[in-house]
Amino acid sequence: MFTVTYDPLRGSYENLVLRVEASRYFEKAVDSSWLAGFISGKLTAETTPEAIRAYLDYLALRFTGAHTGAFIPFGLFDECVEGFLIRDVEGDLLTISYSSTVQIAGYEVSLSSWESLVQERSPNFEEEASWVISRTSVLDGLRLSAEQLNIAT
């Protein structure tokens, strides 16, 4: 299962939580205001249910069309960007690594600039964790995440 949940009780810098339960368990918490800014085109933005839903929709769209070599941002920080590096696609199976790069800073990134920054800089990524998971499982988990957000708000 692959879920992204909003937990305001965790504190402002780690309130958006990724959980992957595949070949091994992985959890990562990041600041949702940077991702709300990423979606809205600002540096940071207020975390609202609409902003989180928009980011979940973005994730679903990117995973639906995922191809080998694609990088999908999740954690935006002053010094680096973290996210999902698609290592391989074979049918419905995705080999994904949660990776980071210091060659792009979080404050440089927006929805409209992301792809061009990756193409211009060809950053190296450092892997933190990896797993093989079906695209269907990822998309089902994102749908569940959106449903849970609807219940919580």
DSSP structural state of residue 2 = E
Those residues whose C-beta lies under 8 Å from the C-beta of residue 70, and which sit 6 or more positions away, are 62, 85, 86
User: pTM of this prediction?
Assistant: 0.90
Kindly list the distances between the CA atom of residue 86 and the CA atoms of 47, 65, 66, 89, in Å, as whole numbers in the listed order: 27, 11, 7, 7
Tell me if the domain spanning 2-152 has CATH number 3.40.50. no
Domain ranges for the chain: 2-152
Q: What is the DSSP string of 44-103?
A: S----HHHHHHHHHHHHHHHHT--TT-EEEEEE-SS-EEEEEEEEEETTEEEEEEEEESS
Digit-coded pLDDT (tens) for 30-74: 999 999 989 988 877 888 888 899 999 999 999 999 999 999 999
The helix or strand, by DSSP H or E, that contains position 141, with its residue range, turns out to be helix 135-152
Digit-coded pLDDT (tens) for 103-118: 999 999 988 888 899 9
